Amino acid sequence: MSLFEDAEQGRSRREELCSGAVVLRRFALSDETAILAALDGLMAEAPLRHMVTPGGFRMSVAMTNCGSWGWVTDNTGYRYDAIDPQSGKPWPGMPDVFAKLAQEAAADAGFEGFVPDACLINRYAPGARLSLHQDKNERDFGAPIVSVSLGIPAVFLFGGSRREEKAMRVRLTHGDVVVWGGPARLRYHGVLPLKEDYHPLTGGHRINLTFRKAA
Ligand code: SIN
Ligand code: FE2
What pLDDT score does 3 carry? 53
Q: How far apart, in whole angstroms, are the C-alpha atoms of residue 9 and residue 53?
A: 44
Q: What is the pLDDT of residues 31-63, one digit of tens each?
A: 999 999 999 999 999 999 999 999 999 999 999
Is 210 close to ligand 1, i.e. is its CB under 6 Å away?
Answer: yes
Q: The whole model's pTM is what?
A: 0.94
- For a substitution probing ligand 1, which of 122, 192, 211, 212 has the most ligand atoms within 8 Å of its CB? 122
Residue 105 makes CB contacts below 8 A (sequence gap 6+) with 24, 27, 28, 146, 148, 177, 179
Is 147 close to ligand 1, i.e. is its CB under 6 Å away?
Answer: yes
Q: Which of 44, 63, 65 is nearest to 52 (CA)?
A: 63
Tell how far CA 27 is from the center of its chain: 13
Strand partners, 215: none
Q: How do the pLDDT tens digits run along the chain, 215 residues long?
A: 455 555 455 445 899 999 999 999 999 999 999 999 999 999 999 999 999 999 999 999 999 999 999 999 999 999 999 999 999 999 999 999 999 999 999 999 999 999 999 999 999 999 999 999 999 999 989 999 999 999 999 999 999 999 999 999 999 999 999 999 999 999 999 999 999 999 999 999 999 999 999 99
Left if phi > 0, otherwise alpha if psi is -120 to 50, otherwise beta: which for 144?
A: beta
Name all domains of the chain by residue range, CATH numbers in brackets.
14-212 (2.60.120.590)
